[in-house]
Structure 1
Amino acid sequence: MRKTDGLFKLLGLCLLAGILVAGVLFPIVGAAGVASNKASETVDSMSAELANVPPPLVTTITDSAGSPIATLYDQYRIPTASDQINDAMKWALVSVEDRRFYDHHGVDWKGTFRAALSNSTGGDTQGASTLTQQYVKNYLINVVYRDDEVGQQKAQEQSVARKLKEARVAIQLETQMNKDQILTSYLNVVEFSRKIYGVGAAAQTYFNTTADKLTVPQAALLAGMVNNPPVYDPWSHPERATERRNLVLDRMVENQKLAKADADRFKAEPLGVVPGGPSKPAANCTGAGPENGFFCQYVQDYLLTNGMTKDDLYTGGYTIRTTMDQNANHQAKISAEQQVDKTQKNVANTLSLVRPGKDRHEVVALAANRDYGPDADKGQTTYALPSDVSNVTGAGSSYKIFTTAAALEQHKTGIYATIQTPQSYSSNVFVGGGNNCPLVARGTHAYCLSNYGESGYGPSMSLQQALATSPNTGFVILEEQAGMGAVTDMARRLGMRNTMASNPANGGAVDPNNSQSIYNMSQQKYFAPGGASQAGLGSFTLGVSPTSGLELANVAATIMSGGVWCPPTPIAAVTNRDGSPKKINEAACEQAVPEGLANSMAVGMSKDDTEGTSKAAAAAVGWNRPMIGKTGTTQNSGSAAFVAAVPQLAGAAMVFRPDNPFGGLIDGGPGNVSATRGTADGNMFGGKTPARTWFGAMTQIMNGQPVIPLPPSDPAYEH
């Protein structure tokens, strides 16, 4: 390089230094001009961002007793106060990054000029940023612009403008914060690689300790990393990390914060990090484990549906106390797994439990035979099996609940009234049957059906008996009398809100651009008059469409709550990072049906365990509590359900084929359930696996709880 080149470069750097000084002094000397005003506004904006954008923190989810079950985060950070940080950590950082930290006022002009001269004359490249300036830069990169790649690049670009702004903000900070506050704030913001931020999280994940107990060599390793975390990662680059740690120890000696003999001794020690990588919790619901993961997933889905954003949830540092009862959830998981092995291909067995109430319906358990997790070979899934509209083949005759309630509301019948239940029936209202059904118009056949089996049903029976024994024909006749619009609306009112809003093909969102009505209509519209047919589809009462097990459980909770529907909430309380309560936008409870109707429905459904389809499952566990129940089984025995409740707790169990819905399920007894090959029929019924799952869990959960009678029926809905 020619001497003139070096001279011009030196002159340029002197000019830069002058600009920096002038820029920093701008607030004092009151320089004017459009450009200066804009620069000042930019600095003020940057200062505001530092003050008003809080660092991402970990959100903690707990059970109903307050015991943590999961953490959600984008950056793993454990806030740490100054007195919780070992002095060795503070002096290690100061010694290697900013030896004159306690002497300057935000910008080290002596260091700046020295670095500028060294860099310009071809000497060692030196940085000149103070810890205060580094704090500004790290806050912008790790907090303000953490999801903005362009913003991050601008926050660290090598330009006069950026250096000017950074320096001015650093000086401004030093007028508002003392040195210890700046140092502590820096140590809470800086990254230590692998999404680990702040010394509190680093101490925990690197050494299984806390920041106040860091040893000198541990502190030296961490202090050395902040310069370039990926390069000095002790697991990926142990040799580089060791060299960097030893350099920090030398700097501490030079800064008279460590004796040379001690430094030499520390240099001989191994890095001492936890083996295999940092010890940090999972960043999402997989951390809740195989048993609690489904509940955690519902908590997340529920909050995202009710006003929170994922970014807020994962960075807000909330404490979310849920309504999950650990014992109930555990017993539900055990029972679901006892009936269906977790690794059984294409068979999901779920159980949802909800606590009834007139002001809240609290979800206490969400369980499945499958574990929650990412490894399908181990019987794991992260799909929200219990809570989502995941059973695409339906819940079978449990939907007769809605037909019954609609008919009672219109006083078409009563729970003790006699209804027609012929062995077979051809509807004059509904159409869409096969070629074996009567022809009602050119190319159009009546909707015809029969009861399962050849005996056991008379031509008529009481509605209460029909709910227990479940003849198909009787409820299609009731559908005709009540009208499909009233029946589908009743399903929504009693609790099937998300279910009825989903499409009838796969339970997903309605696609208005799809030409097929089964995808571009909600279930509410598809089955009602004017949807798929002029009069509606009579098959609705047979439960042929996608269903949420949790919403079925909430239907039972609505009935046991005197007809009051409330959203099935998993939230007991949410607190902000400062401990103050956070309000969640939850739907208000509604009087879905008159209390007398709900109580009469409870009496009407009270015979399933003693005279109906779940009698064998109830007898097997010695069940003797008053309860309501309704089983359901779909075509080919491809899925089955059991909706049931006692006054204290309502629930629904469902077994279905989650991966390939076409075909049946074979019930060979507890632990011996499988999916048929192809489209072959099975032998599954709601009174088998689902009922056994519900009774198995509830027997344990309700042990020692008082026996409470069902409410009496209302005479207005009896006959």
Structure 2
Amino acid sequence: MRMRDGLLKMFGLCLLAGVLVAGIMFPVAGGIGVLSNQASDTVENMSAGLADDPPPLVTTVTDRDGNPIATLYDQYRIPTGPEEISDAIKWALISVEDRRFYEHHGVDWKGTIRAAVSNSSGGDTQGASTLTQQYVKNYLINVTYRGDELGQQRAQEATIARKLKEARIAIQLETKLSKDQILAGYLNIVEFSREIFGVGAAARAYFDTTADELTVAQAALLAGMANNPPAYDPWNNPERATQRRNFVLDKMVENRKVSRTDAERIKTEPLGVVPDGPNKPPANCVGAGPEHGFFCQYAEDYLLDQGMTKDELYTGGFTVKTTMDPRANQLAKASAEEQVAKTQDNVANTLSLITPGKQRHEVVALAANRDYGPDAAAGQTEFALPSAISNVTGAGSSYKMFTAAAAVERGVVGIYDTVQSPGSYVSRIFSGSPPPCPYVAPYTRGYCVSNASEGYSGTMSLQTALQTSPNTAFVILEEQVGMGAVIEMASKLGLRKTMAGNVATGAAPEPGSQSQEIRSSQAQYFGPNQRSPGKGSFTLGVSPTSGLELANVAATLMSGGVWCPPTPIASVTDRSGRPVPVEEQPCEQAVPEGLANTMAIGLSKDDLPGGTAAAAAAGVGWKRPMIGKTGTTQNNGSAAFIGATPQLAGAAMVFRPDLPNGGLVDGGPGNVVAVDGDSGNMFGGKTPARTWFGAVSKILDGAPALPLPPADPRYERAN
């Protein structure tokens, strides 16, 4: 039995010797004998990739001034060049992992044969991989097969074929890079546990320092971790980490890189890592904090919508410069929070602000009373409240501007012309109103509508109707102009995703859905079809709405009718500082400039006495020319205010984000609560208008009070 074991060991050693000879011959003989030409090409490509392809890096998101607000990453890594790494970590690593690093040419054949003989003869198991080979293996695991569990397993399997391929790549790599470059490459690739990769990130996360400032004690800990990061994690396993650090110190003494006296002294010292876990930034927009997180999230969503993949964004090492004005965003957040407490159950108060323009519509602020973050108990959320179609109960009478604009464009009425505003009205436009609303056609009930309050005169100018907001006037206008024109106007002015979404949820229509309401987009659901002239409730803003898109409607009107996508991106540069193009939708002349300017004049009275937002405007001493429109939904469950000056456009919305059915009670700033049933008293002129005026009055403080554009006579009077 012993003789057979001995023969098997001898056979194994002979086989290993043959493999090693083939490996040694590889630089001369290329792929002859052991691997095919295709495999040789793979080795060549792999070594070229190690020499030229950078690893995943952190993407930095900044405000418009270039100040970082967040980091996005899959692997936390701070790239460092050879000259930026202290000698202490270099010699600690060499001493414990590869003492002959500067002597071999990628593979330590002497060490390999010694380890093979020792392991085959039953002695202690010994490793033989050089740092160059470890660089290859770690590159495969952490870069090439990142996220590919099977590939990572293949890169670590204990087979002669895998070790030979690794050795061949290492040999080629040493013909392309210097020793210092290989050592730095390894130190930039290797993981130090907890998604911390590379010595630059490890120095920051473990010791709050830089790679060039690492001490011998710090270097010994990090060098020891590279062998098995989870096992030597200093927070989870401090005793094992200390033992490993001390072992590295002994190896440094053997390698004459530190004195025995200094090593023994260091062994008595604590590990010295930062308390309570590694010091590393959050890996996503949570890092932007409770104030700027919503803006960061919109910037990320925007880039993904434009075609960038999440993997690209989180590994590309980009610098994403946003259009966020930090002062404006802070003031928007403060105003939203002043009106509604951040921890108030089931009440969200949002504000979106955009700079008008004919070339771009840059978003400058996205805020909510709730903080951005993962802790729901602390009032936090990671749902994009200001930018998403998050208000499912609607923006109320702010939608009346679409009806007015469609009627003015079609020549049905001018802004100074008289419109009818009876106390109640039965419209021929179907709404599905329950009895006792009468039939207006066979099998079709009309739409019964009344004004929210009494006291309206039976007639008034369209401008006054926009200021005081009687419901009946705009349902009558819907009949006169047709629902198709009204729906089209809402989309043209800015409600693009809102109108393309589903009426019930704001999501895309479900293929194969049986319910018309579920399978239809909002444009299809409210617009005319073969069975109905449309649904007149649209003008009362009863459908899901994006606050950001509502703000962009105001921006379109203040830009002479030019619609541009609301963009949060100022520029994107890659890891080398080269510009990265972002393909955005082009701006378009959505409506004639004269119509947009005339509508601005038509909407210019809401802040004046008699207007629905007059009290909120007076509360901040507002004196600037502006456009404005309030809106409130059924049961006072949500409300909105859309407003703009020539410099800044925006929309504020308050709504129930969790349980939408019910009302909201406004007891004054900081005292807004959700209530059951129809006992709410919320209106667009209350919380939303106060939020808008509270922020915008401060943001524009010191800026000139610019006039509104003049009305176009063609749209002042019909025909």
| Residue in 2 that maps onto 1:281 | 281
Matched, 1:200 2:200: yes
Identity of aligned residues (%): 71
* TM-aligned CA distance change 1:80 to 1:30, over 3 Å: closer
Structure 2 segments unaligned to the other structure (5+ residues): none
Give the 5 Å matches for 1:150-169.
150-169=150-169
Asked if 2 retains the 8 angstrom alpha-carbon contact of 1:50 and 1:140, the reply is no
* TM-aligned CA distance change 1:182 to 1:52, over 3 Å: closer
Q: What is the CA–CA distance in structure 1 between the aligned matches of 2:516 and 2:33, rounded to whole Å?
A: 65
Q: Shift of residue 430 of structure 1?
A: 2.8
| Residue in 2 that maps onto 1:38 | 38
Match 2:602 to one of 593, 599, 604: 604
Q: What is the CA–CA distance in structure 1 between the aligned matches of 2:120 and 2:617, rounded to whole Å?
A: 87
Matched, 1:592 2:612: no
Asked if 2 retains the 8 angstrom alpha-carbon contact of 1:203 and 1:211, the reply is yes
Q: What is the CA–CA distance in structure 1 between the aligned matches of 2:708 and 2:540, rounded to whole Å?
A: 26
**Cα deviation 1:107-145 (Å, max 9, x = unaligned):** 000000000011111111111110000000000100111
Q: Shift of residue 441 of structure 1?
A: 4.4
One-letter identity of the residue aligned with 2:592: P
Q: Indicate the SS of the match to 1:425.
A: strand
Asked if 1 retains the 8 angstrom alpha-carbon contact of 2:429 and 2:535, the reply is no
Q: What is the CA–CA distance in structure 1 between the aligned matches of 2:602 and 2:561, rounded to whole Å?
A: 14
Q: What is the CA–CA distance in structure 1 between the aligned matches of 2:187 and 2:377, rounded to whole Å?
A: 42
Give the 5 Å matches for 1:703-718.
703-718=701-716
Asked if 2 retains the 8 angstrom alpha-carbon contact of 1:24 and 1:164, the reply is no
Asked if 1 retains the 8 angstrom alpha-carbon contact of 2:430 and 2:445, the reply is no
**Cα deviation 1:403-451 (Å, max 9, x = unaligned):** 1111111111111111111111111233422201112345531111011
Q: Shift of residue 639 of structure 1?
A: 0.3
One-letter identity of the residue aligned with 1:447: Y
**Cα deviation 1:635-689 (Å, max 9, x = unaligned):** 0000000000010000000000000000110011111110112x23311000000
Q: Shift of residue 49 of structure 1?
A: 4.2
Q: Shift of residue 577 of structure 1?
A: 0.4
Matched, 1:293 2:293: yes
One-letter identity of the residue aligned with 1:696: G
One-letter identity of the residue aligned with 1:183: L
Q: CA RMSD in A?
A: 1.4
Q: Indicate the SS of the match to 2:90.
A: helix
Asked if 1 retains the 8 angstrom alpha-carbon contact of 2:429 and 2:532, the reply is no
Match 2:581 to one of 558, 580, 583: 583
Q: Indicate the SS of the match to 2:665.
A: strand
One-letter identity of the residue aligned with 2:659: N
Asked if 2 retains the 8 angstrom alpha-carbon contact of 1:503 and 1:521, the reply is yes
Q: Indicate the SS of the match to 1:712.
A: coil
Q: What is the CA–CA distance in structure 2 between the aligned matches of 1:285 and 1:519, rounded to whole Å?
A: 32
One-letter identity of the residue aligned with 1:717: Y
One-letter identity of the residue aligned with 1:501: A
The worse-fitting range, judged by mean Cα deviation, of 543-552 and 28-37 is 28-37
| Residue in 2 that maps onto 1:223 | 223
Q: What is the CA–CA distance in structure 1 between the aligned matches of 2:461 and 2:31, rounded to whole Å?
A: 93
| Residue in 1 that maps onto 2:534 | 536
**Cα deviation 1:81-113 (Å, max 9, x = unaligned):** 111111011000000000000000000000000
Asked if 2 retains the 8 angstrom alpha-carbon contact of 1:10 and 1:117, the reply is no
Q: What is the CA–CA distance in structure 1 between the aligned matches of 2:624 and 2:13, rounded to whole Å?
A: 87
Matched, 1:429 2:436: no
Q: What is the CA–CA distance in structure 1 between the aligned matches of 2:572 and 2:432, rounded to whole Å?
A: 50
One-letter identity of the residue aligned with 1:642: F
Asked if 1 retains the 8 angstrom alpha-carbon contact of 2:102 and 2:179, the reply is yes
**Cα deviation 1:610-633 (Å, max 9, x = unaligned):** 031001111111100000000000
One-letter identity of the residue aligned with 2:358: K
Q: What is the CA–CA distance in structure 2 between the aligned matches of 1:657 and 1:271, rounded to whole Å?
A: 50
| Residue in 2 that maps onto 1:243 | 243
Q: Indicate the SS of the match to 2:428.
A: strand
Matched, 1:465 2:464: yes
**What TM-score, normalized to structure 2?**
0.98
One-letter identity of the residue aligned with 2:63: D
Q: What is the CA–CA distance in structure 1 between the aligned matches of 2:145 and 2:431, rounded to whole Å?
A: 60
Q: Indicate the SS of the match to 2:293.
A: helix
| Residue in 2 that maps onto 1:308 | 308
Asked if 1 retains the 8 angstrom alpha-carbon contact of 2:439 and 2:445, the reply is yes
| Residue in 1 that maps onto 2:640 | 641
Q: What is the CA–CA distance in structure 1 between the aligned matches of 2:517 and 2:102, rounded to whole Å?
A: 71
Q: What is the CA–CA distance in structure 1 between the aligned matches of 2:714 and 2:145, rounded to whole Å?
A: 64
Q: Shift of residue 224 of structure 1?
A: 0.4
One-letter identity of the residue aligned with 2:675: T
Matched, 1:480 2:479: yes
Q: Shift of residue 216 of structure 1?
A: 0.2
Asked if 2 retains the 8 angstrom alpha-carbon contact of 1:250 and 1:263, the reply is yes
Q: Indicate the SS of the match to 2:429.
A: strand
Q: What is the CA–CA distance in structure 2 between the aligned matches of 1:472 and 1:394, rounded to whole Å?
A: 15
Q: Indicate the SS of the match to 2:12.
A: helix
Q: Shift of residue 26 of structure 1?
A: 3.2
| Residue in 2 that maps onto 1:503 | 502
Structure 1 segments unaligned to the other structure (5+ residues): none
| Residue in 1 that maps onto 2:631 | 632
| Residue in 2 that maps onto 1:85 | 85
Q: Shift of residue 705 of structure 1?
A: 0.5
One-letter identity of the residue aligned with 1:207: F
Q: Shift of residue 32 of structure 1?
A: 4.1
* TM-aligned CA distance change 1:53 to 1:85, over 3 Å: closer
- The count of residues paired between Structure 1 and Structure 2 equals 716
Q: What is the CA–CA distance in structure 2 between the aligned matches of 1:242 and 1:11, rounded to whole Å?
A: 42
| Residue in 1 that maps onto 2:142 | 142
One-letter identity of the residue aligned with 2:112: T
| Residue in 1 that maps onto 2:12 | 12
Q: What is the CA–CA distance in structure 1 between the aligned matches of 2:388 and 2:349, rounded to whole Å?
A: 14
Give the 5 Å matches for 1:509-528.
509-528=508-527
Give the 5 Å matches for 1:615-694.
615-677=614-676, 679-694=677-692
One-letter identity of the residue aligned with 1:466: A
Q: Indicate the SS of the match to 2:176.
A: coil
Matched, 1:545 2:568: no
Q: Shift of residue 698 of structure 1?
A: 1.0
Q: Shift of residue 536 of structure 1?
A: 1.1
Give the 5 Å matches for 1:52-201.
53-201=53-201
Q: What is the CA–CA distance in structure 2 between the aligned matches of 1:216 and 1:583, rounded to whole Å?
A: 45
The worse-fitting range, judged by mean Cα deviation, of 232-241 and 442-451 is 442-451
One-letter identity of the residue aligned with 1:29: A
Asked if 2 retains the 8 angstrom alpha-carbon contact of 1:24 and 1:167, the reply is no
Q: Shift of residue 542 of structure 1?
A: 0.5
Q: Shift of residue 53 of structure 1?
A: 4.5
Q: What is the CA–CA distance in structure 2 between the aligned matches of 1:275 and 1:125, rounded to whole Å?
A: 36
Q: Shift of residue 44 of structure 1?
A: 2.7
Q: Indicate the SS of the match to 1:430.
A: coil
One-letter identity of the residue aligned with 2:326: Q
Q: Shift of residue 607 of structure 1?
A: 0.3
Q: Indicate the SS of the match to 2:624.
A: coil
* TM-aligned CA distance change 1:715 to 1:84, over 3 Å: same
Q: What is the CA–CA distance in structure 1 between the aligned matches of 2:442 and 2:566, rounded to whole Å?
A: 47
Q: What is the CA–CA distance in structure 2 between the aligned matches of 1:371 and 1:254, rounded to whole Å?
A: 55
Give the 5 Å matches for 1:20-35.
20-29=20-29, 32=32, 35=35
Q: Shift of residue 29 of structure 1?
A: 2.5
**Cα deviation 1:11-45 (Å, max 9, x = unaligned):** 31332232233144235135646952233133234
* TM-aligned CA distance change 1:149 to 1:70, over 3 Å: same
Asked if 1 retains the 8 angstrom alpha-carbon contact of 2:31 and 2:39, the reply is no
Q: What is the CA–CA distance in structure 2 between the aligned matches of 1:21 and 1:519, rounded to whole Å?
A: 70
Asked if 1 retains the 8 angstrom alpha-carbon contact of 2:323 and 2:364, the reply is yes
Q: Shift of residue 4 of structure 1?
A: 3.3
One-letter identity of the residue aligned with 1:445: R
Q: What is the CA–CA distance in structure 1 between the aligned matches of 2:13 and 2:391, rounded to whole Å?
A: 70
Q: What is the CA–CA distance in structure 2 between the aligned matches of 1:17 and 1:193, rounded to whole Å?
A: 36
